[in-house]
Every structure is written in C-alpha cells, then in structure tokens.
C-alpha cells in the first residue's frame, strides 16, 4: 500500500469519527418527541408553568387514582379527541401513563398537531405514587 492511500484512509477514518461525534452531541437537541421529566420537574411544570396534566391511561386505571385536576383522554382515543385540549397548545402538557408505550403514542399525536411543550412523567403514575404525591379517586 502506498503512503498516499494510507493518508487518505486515515483522513477518511478521522472524518467518520468526527461526524459520529458531532451527531452524538447534537442528537438530543434535534430529537423530536416528548421530554421525559421526573416528579420534581413535573411539580414545577404544574405549579409554576400552569401545565395541563393529561392522563392517557384507560378508564379503570384513571378511576383508581389520578393527579388532581388532570384531564383524561385514553391513549386509544387521543387521535380523535386531542381537539378537546387544543386551546392549551401554548401551555406545557404533562402526560401521565402506566407504561411508556401509551405516552409515546399520545405525545406523538400531540406533537403532530402542533403541541410543542409535551413532557412525559418518567415512571408514570407509579413514580408519582412512590413520591407520595397527591392522588384523587373517583
């Protein structure tokens, strides 16, 4: 192999490494989708930024206990009912769920329809309960 070929190969490897590093650094900034927040941040969103709490669990889970003043739209109905919360587009939305699959789907539907401040409660309702935060039953 010639020195010229080895130099080009080294440059190519350097370029690939630099590109991968740059993508790793900027990926979190360009990634679309909801931000995961813990219970502390969720409380700040609710108390200081007037976040709308959107519970996307099914009816029986919601009835068994939910956050005070939450809005309930089950995830399987979110594509048809997101319009009900359209007037809250400018507010942060805190999505409550049992598992991440439901909240991810609901959050994607909201983002697709212009909601820009969507946050998922990391750990869902279980994290809220573990933190001994208020739960309402009806």
User: What is the rounded CA–CA span in Å between residue 70 and residue 116?
Assistant: 19
**CATH classification of the domain holding 50:** 3.40.250.10
- Establish if 137 belongs to a structural domain: no
Asked if 97 and 58 touch (Cβ cutoff 8 Å), the reply is: no
Are 76 and 126 contained in the same domain?
A: yes
| Phi and psi angles of residue 125, each rounded to the nearest 5 degrees, phi first | -60, -30
Are 93 and 122 contained in the same domain?
A: yes
117 pLDDT tier (thresholds 50, 70, 90)? very high
What pLDDT digit, counting tens, does each position of 6-46 carry?
778 888 888 888 888 878 777 655 555 578 999 999 999 99
Are 25 and 61 contained in the same domain?
A: no
The vertex-100 CA angle with 44 and 29, nearest 5°, equals 60
Ordered strands of the 93-96 beta sheet = 35-37, 118-121, 93-96, 52-55, 71-72
pLDDT of residue 82: 96
125 pLDDT tier (thresholds 50, 70, 90)? very high
- Establish if 65 belongs to a structural domain: yes
99 pLDDT tier (thresholds 50, 70, 90)? low
pLDDT of residue 38: 95
Please compute the mean of the pLDDT values over residues 79-90 and round it to a whole number. 96
121 versus 98: the higher-pLDDT residue is 121
Mean pLDDT of the chain: 89
Look up the pTM and report it: 0.76
Are 44 and 112 contained in the same domain?
A: yes
pLDDT of residue 1: 66
Give the domain extent around 12.
Answer: 1-31
Give percent above pLDDT 90 in the chain.
68
């Amino acid at each position: 192999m010639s020195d010229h070929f080895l130099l080009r190969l080294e440059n190519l490897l350097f370029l690939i490494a630099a590109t991968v590093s740059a993508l790793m650094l900027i990926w979190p900034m360009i990634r679309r989708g909801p931000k995961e927040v813990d219970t502390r941040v969720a409380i700040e969103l609710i108390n200081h930024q007037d976040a709308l709490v959107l519970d996307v669990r099914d009816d029986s889970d919601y009835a068994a206990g939910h956050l005070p003043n939450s809005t309930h739209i089950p995830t399987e109905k979110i594509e048809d009912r997101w319009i009900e919360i359209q007037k809250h587009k400018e507010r942060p939305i805190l999505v409550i769920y049992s598992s991440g699959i439901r909240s991810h789907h609901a959050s994607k539907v909201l983002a697709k329809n212009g909601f820009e401040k969507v946050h998922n409660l990391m750990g869902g309702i279980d994290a809220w309960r573990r933190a001994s935060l208020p739960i309402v039953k009806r």
